[in-house]
Structure 1
Amino acid sequence: MTQTPLTSRFVDFAGALDLREVPDEAVRAAKSAILDWLGVTLAGSAEPLAGALLAARAGDRGGPSTVVGAGRTASPETAALVNGACAHALDFDDYLAEGVIHGTAPLVAALLAVAEDRGRTGADLLAAFVAGYEVHAHLSTVLGQPLIHRGYHPTGVLTHLGTAIGVGRLIGLGPELLATCLGLAGTQAAGLLASFGTMGKPLHSGKAAADAVLSASLAEAGYTGSTSVLDGERGLPVVLTGIDDEQLGAELGTRWLVADNAIKPYAACGAIHASIDAAIRLSRVVDPARIDRVRCDVSAVTVRAAAIPRPATGLEAKFSTQYAVASALLSGTSPASHFTDGATGRADVRALTERVDLVSTYERITRARVEVTQTDGTRHEDTVDWAKGSPGNPMTGDDTARKFLDLAANRIGPSVAAEVVAFVEGLEKQSDLRDLAALVRGSEPARADG
């Protein structure tokens, strides 16, 4: 079996990265991802899982790191855990279509918590973000789909690695300790598709963030671990996917995958987005009362990971292409409110959901074809090659800013939200990330007496 020093390849790239040499397109994409993270995390902080996580960590208060939207602080590890889970709570966070991975949710959660603790600058965070994102993104383009087909959630597994590298880079670990940090994170990496439709899925992101903080802290303190976690027959790629590919990460530093990062327009699994786009367009020409059957040609990943046939909760609906298509066909829209517990109970949507069939046709998750057959036999179809938000049909900077403002206004108010946008636009010039953390801290909810 080939013994390629893959670990060194990824560690050396991250340690040597110079933000001044990163293409402008990649830097702009990184800042868009960070802004989007702030919006979805603020929105996610109002979800029930946030309260449950804070209750579980009730004794961890008053530390140096902000718990976004909660009006309180905690240790870096707890802040990373809660913020990482909240960022993924609505499944509204960005994704890399090629690698089928949510690269930003755990990464910014960990980096912001540590940057606040260590007094790092905006440029420090931006460089660490690009380094960490590129590490787990390049791993995902080879390992992402194989992990899914074995029942793993690539975000739960691979972002442990990139996030740990990002945090290690942020605190100044040298090559040997970065490799140790990667090894400690890799041995904690996990996440199962069986968790989809439950709070267990966003926990994958929270754990990746918290475990990255722990791994970097342990490596810095002299704790030992594998320094070759990506190599050989006992390395993560071979153990979890059976893949031993000496080209893994060969394009690091020449192909910047953060530039392909997809900002979501819909609060559902990215593998559903193309089908939603097609259904919205078809809603303008079909008669909802006369729909007989709906066929959706989608990717194999969509069938594997986003095909809950009869979702009973909002979380399950986010992973039901059948439900999302039915809902979009009947309403002509797909707002976040469609993916709530109350919305899944609509009788007309539930009835149509039963008549939506999925066919595994495409390799790329950004493609879909939806065909509606009406009761009189007439057919209407629509094909989407690139879902809205994905590389071939991206959200603009203005789109991303509007999404952030819509999500953030209810949590921190419109004027503070506008300050956040301005802060992130000039991120590389900001001298202290504590200023950003203070803007998104929010107010602690009032507690009932007794």
Structure 2
Amino acid sequence: MDKHQASDVELTRYVAEFVVNTRANDLPADVIELGKKSILDGLGLALSGSVSKTGDLVRRHLDELNLGAGAATLIGGGRKVAPRFAAFANGVGIHADDYDDTQLAVAKDRVYGLLTHPTAPALPAALAVAELVNAPGRELMLAYQLGVEVECKIAEAIAPRHYQTGFHATGTCGTFAGAVAGAKLLALDVATTRRALSMAGSQSAGLRENFGTMTKPFHAGRASESGVVAAQFASYGWTAAPRILEAPRGFFSAAGGGYDPAAIFGKLGAPWTLFDPGVSIKPHPSGSLTHPGMTEMLRLIQANGIHAKDVRHVRVGTNSNMPNALIHHRPKDELQAKFSMEFCIAILLLEGRAGLNEFTDAAVEREDVKAMIEKVDFVIDDVAEAAGYHLMTTLIDIDLADGRRISGRADFGKGSPAMPMSYDEVARKFHENAEFAGMDRNTASEIVELVSGLEKLDSMEPLTRRLIRIA
């Protein structure tokens, strides 16, 4: 089979059989623990996202729908709604601050940003349907893991054109995650799961032109919601084509111009993506491509006692694909700042940190921030280009007023498998996000403990009743 060309492999059947036949006992212990970190991270982000501007607007929309109560928790929203709308709202919340986990690429032709934010579409769908069917914790974790696995392997397999010409993989590939999670919890058989996948493929959408706007997290929420809708309609008997992934007019061909069968066929759970190559959990609420540079800049600041007033010029060099996503060189608001290498470097120099409180409209509008941004040049670097697009190689040169030049390089950032966060570090991030949302520390600590023993829960109720309100 030729790479990036459609084949006659019954790929959709293979994916459906993997989903149907995998049991909770099949998950390796290390994969389970990695999943708990991303689940805890996702729940904290849904909380902080619930108090964002997008959270307010999503709740306004749900109010105007006037649909009444449902089975699934609106995290931080004080109510329950229909599963599809809980998946949408919580997916938007997780991705609202661009603070959620990110898949890593393997092949050198994979643009790092081509791949997907795995938890934002997968977890809300899994949680919503788990509440609908009163599933125990171990089944929630399995559905989540399966959604992440399928989503990430699809993202790894599709031809690079998919991302390069404008598709946002979290919105496109993420729709399959929601469908898989929903199908597993609804106990659909192979034929019905294939139909759910097919409906997901027809709903997959998201364009990168919307990076730096509220529509980027909309992609994640819509992917999760569309996956739930696909699984539920398939369960009703709704018909759909059986070969949506591999068909000549199917997802891989239409959205990417082809795919690499070797990147997905026979690879589901072998190894599990969360284990190898792993995912990155973000220490900063900005686009993942900024993180190696931010990690290295923070290290250089701390190691050399650098003060903003002494900085004359900063050069940040990356490969040519990274500016293709980090498109806002002079950001006008907090959303654009998340996709501005210049802002991320400037705020670290000025504040020594870059968290939710630094990514605000007020910070973007500060005169000292604007002045520091003018000192930062974000350029394409030959060394970074030669390292390959699967890396996020970032080279930094800081010129100081006393004539010194301080330089550094990073291929990955803090939170990546190369520099992983422990469960305790993720718990600290969770506490910060929960506090940002107004949750008391005791409740937040209870959630951290519940997620650490998620497989012991007989239902989601002990967890969701703590997540439904933030004050």
Which SS does the other structure have where 2:263 is aligned?
coil
C-alpha offsets along residues 354-398 of structure 1, whole Å, 9 cap, x if unaligned?
A: 332223434235432111234565321111132100110001111
Q: Percent identity?
A: 31
Q: Tell me the residue number matched to 2:207.
A: 192
Q: Tell me the residue number matched to 1:227.
A: 242
Q: Tell me the residue number matched to 2:362.
A: 342
Determine if the alignment matches structure 1 residue 313 to structure 2 residue 333. Answer: yes
Alignment of 1:422-437 (within 5 A): 422-437=449-464
C-alpha offsets along residues 107-129 of structure 1, whole Å, 9 cap, x if unaligned?
A: 11111111111111101111111
Shift of 1:60: 2.5
Alignment of 1:56-95 (within 5 A): 56-58=61-63, 59-95=66-102
Shift of 1:434: 2.2
Shift of 1:157: 0.6
Q: Is the 8 Å Cα contact of residues 144 and 154 (structure 1) preserved in structure 2? A: no
Q: Tell me the residue number matched to 1:439.
A: 466
User: What root-mean-square deviation, in Å, do the aligned CA atoms of Structure 1 and Structure 2 show?
Assistant: 1.8
Shift of 1:256: 1.1
Alignment of 1:92-241 (within 5 A): 92-98=99-105, 100-143=115-158, 145-241=160-256
Residue identity in the other structure for 2:15: F
Give the TM-score normalised by structure 1: 0.94
Runs of 4+ in 1 over 4 A off after TM superposition: none
Which residue, 420, 424, 444 being the options, matches 2:447?
420
Q: Is the 8 Å Cα contact of residues 273 and 388 (structure 1) preserved in structure 2? A: yes
Determine if the alignment matches structure 1 residue 2 to structure 2 residue 28. Answer: no
Give the TM-score normalised by structure 2: 0.90
Q: Is the 8 Å Cα contact of residues 299 and 364 (structure 1) preserved in structure 2? A: no
C-alpha offsets along residues 275-308 of structure 1, whole Å, 9 cap, x if unaligned?
A: 1112212324345334333221224442111231
Shift of 1:219: 0.2
Greater displacement, 337-346 / 144-153: 144-153
C-alpha offsets along residues 136-179 of structure 1, whole Å, 9 cap, x if unaligned?
A: 11112233854221111110110101221111011101011101
Which SS does the other structure have where 1:257 is aligned?
coil
Structure 2 unaligned segments of length 5 or more: list them: 1-5, 106-113
Q: Tell me the residue number matched to 2:108.
A: none
> For the residues of structure 1 that align with 2:311 and 2:240, how far apart are their CA atoms?
58
Which residue, 32, 40, 58 being the options, matches 1:35?
40
Shift of 1:348: 2.0
Q: Tell me the residue number matched to 2:273.
A: 257
C-alpha offsets along residues 228-273 of structure 1, whole Å, 9 cap, x if unaligned?
A: 1111321211211112322131321211111212211111111110
Structure 1 unaligned segments of length 5 or more: list them: 445-450
Q: Is the 8 Å Cα contact of residues 314 and 339 (structure 1) preserved in structure 2? A: yes
> For the residues of structure 2 that align with 1:393 and 1:163, how far apart are their CA atoms?
29
Q: Is the 8 Å Cα contact of residues 90 and 221 (structure 2) preserved in structure 1? A: yes
> For the residues of structure 2 that align with 1:402 and 1:287, how far apart are their CA atoms?
27
Q: Tell me the residue number matched to 1:16.
A: 21
**Number of aligned residue pairs:** 444
